[in-house]
Amino acid sequence: MKISGVFCIVFIVLISMNGCDGRTKLIIPGADNVEPARGNFETPFEMLPSDLRATFTRGEEAFMKVFTVEEGLGPIFNQAACVSCHPGNGRGMPDLSLIRFSMGHNLMLDMGGPQLQDKVIPGVSYETLPMGVDKSTRLPPPVFGMGLIENISVETILSYADEDDADGDGVSGRPHWVTAADFVPTTEIGGGPGEQLGRFGRKASVSSLVQQTAMAFQQDMGVTNSFLQEEPSNTGDTVPDPEIERSTVMDIVVFMRLLSPPPRGEITGQVKRGDAIFNRIGCAACHVPTMQTGPSPIDALNRVDVHVYSDFLLHDMGEELADNRPDGEATGTEWRTAPLWGTRLVAEFLGGTPFFLHDGRATTLEGAIRAHGGEAQNAKEKFFNLSVEKQQAVIAFLESL
């Protein structure tokens, strides 16, 4: 059986103790016949120089790698490979969701915070969620187009901020200023001392791809690395730390940096009408259609238009979408505007059913729009006051992205 896209590694976390050599093994159904497959979420930018192409390939292999207990998996973890949270390099399914928790601004590091790891290696007790904490369910986000997002200048993003709603449109996006982890090199975008612009994560709480990747290894897989050498739990893991080197983390950073966003679908007359309506009713105030990257030594990232449909700012989205969990300076009702590129392929890469919003609660675009509130309330009401024909045009437009 050939497994590709979403089906590759979705079942990765099944653990078997029946290996003929007596070692603990992670079983992927059909893995003997798995061949790496590239879909529209899995394609690097064209015309990369040979050195970058080689690094991309190494990063892809590391992204696909299934860790075993003997290689440092755990002792507590969520998944055994990067790709198992991000099937096909696109967004994950509710079954793959992570739970972040804290108590106000206390990340509860002494009680297993800020993330609940729901799997363990043999002989280790399961982690439990402390009573009374603020918790938030998070769907794994896509990892394509990260290099483009990273290379949009701070000034460009700030030009869309309107914290006091000076233009009176009811939309007051604000930047999320964060402190980069000490281990992030100052040569990396989002690294260095002082305030940095958060642009990654559901609440824009991370400023650097290096930090995002190193934390994912440690928190999601329990795999220590040269940037983060402490285990998420101090029992059960006997593999010397760090369990992977800096070079592996950086290869994956480059892999994500060079993953191209998927191309647009067919732009029909209905799609064009939906595009115009999308802008007219105010959706584009947050889902900004196009930004431009700044200078980059990589041609594919250098001063190019990015059709991402996000402003990367925090917006109050109302009570229905609230997780009531502060994250840095983001409140419990605020979220970073989710990029819309790749929307047309979500169902294809998730076994036929699309999942939208930060926790995957919506399986239709109409349902996702209906959940919007707060700063998006006015645009939502305008959408549902449209004729059925015009609503369908907007949905057709979104399904073309």
Q: What is the pLDDT of residues 232-281, one digit of tens each?
A: 888 888 999 999 999 999 999 999 999 999 999 999 999 999 999 999 99
Tell me which residue has tokens 């760090």: 242
Q: What is the pLDDT of residues 61-105, one digit of tens each?
A: 999 999 999 999 999 999 999 999 988 777 778 888 999 999 988
C-alpha span between 251 and 270 (Å, rounded): 42
C-alpha span between 74 and 350 (Å, rounded): 26
Residue 21 has pLDDT above 70, yes or no: no
Q: Are residues 351 and 394 in the same domain?
A: yes
C-alpha span between 313 and 286 (Å, rounded): 8
Q: Look at residue 92 in the predicted model and tell me its pLDDT.
A: 79
* 168 inside domain: no
Q: Are residues 249 and 369 in the same domain?
A: no
Q: Are residues 91 and 232 in the same domain?
A: yes
Q: Are residues 297 and 253 in the same domain?
A: no
* 6 inside domain: no
Q: What is the pLDDT of residues 312-322, one digit of tens each?
A: 999 999 999 99
C-alpha span between 209 and 119 (Å, rounded): 25
Q: What is the pLDDT of residues 365-390, one digit of tens each?
A: 999 999 999 999 999 999 999 999 99
Pairing of strands 76-77, 98-102: unpaired
Q: 248-257 burial by CB neighbour count: b if 16+ within 10 A, else e?
A: bbbbbbbbbb
C-alpha span between 124 and 76 (Å, rounded): 8
* 157 inside domain: no
Range of the structural domain that residue 361 is part of: 269-398
Q: Are residues 213 and 273 in the same domain?
A: no
C-alpha span between 378 and 391 (Å, rounded): 15
C-alpha span between 250 and 210 (Å, rounded): 7
Domain count within the chain? 2
Pairing of strands 334-336, 314-316: antiparallel
Q: Are residues 229 and 294 in the same domain?
A: no
Q: Are residues 212 and 290 in the same domain?
A: no
Q: How far is CA 343 from CA 120, 157, 324, 362, in A?
A: 34, 22, 27, 13
Domain end point (choices 198, 233, 257): 257
* 155 inside domain: no
Residue 40: pLDDT band (50, 70, 90) is: low
Order of strands across the sheet with 134-138?
115-116, 98-102, 134-138
Domain end point (choices 257, 290, 320): 257
Q: Is-above-0.85 flag for pTM?
A: yes
Q: Are residues 215 and 338 in the same domain?
A: no
Q: Are residues 222 and 280 in the same domain?
A: no
Give the dihedral of Cα atoms 286, 199, 138, 43; nearest 10 deg: 90
Q: Are residues 211 and 334 in the same domain?
A: no
* 263 inside domain: no
Domain end point (choices 212, 237, 257): 257
* 10 inside domain: no
Neighbours of 17 (CB within 10 A): 9
Q: Look at residue 35 in the predicted model and tell me its pLDDT.
A: 34
* 7 inside domain: no
Residue 29: pLDDT band (50, 70, 90) is: very low
Q: What is the pLDDT of residues 93-109, one digit of tens each?
A: 888 899 999 998 898 98
Q: Are residues 202 and 302 in the same domain?
A: no
* 113 inside domain: yes
Residue 36 has pLDDT above 90, yes or no: no
For the domain that residue 308 is a member of, what is the CATH number?
A: 1.10.760
Q: Are residues 237 and 114 in the same domain?
A: yes
Give the dihedral of Cα atoms 374, 377, 378, 379; nearest 10 deg: 120
Q: What is the pLDDT of residues 186-235, one digit of tens each?
A: 999 999 999 999 999 999 999 999 999 999 999 999 999 999 999 988 88
**336 near 203, Cβ under 8 Å?**
yes
Output the average pLDDT for the chain.
89
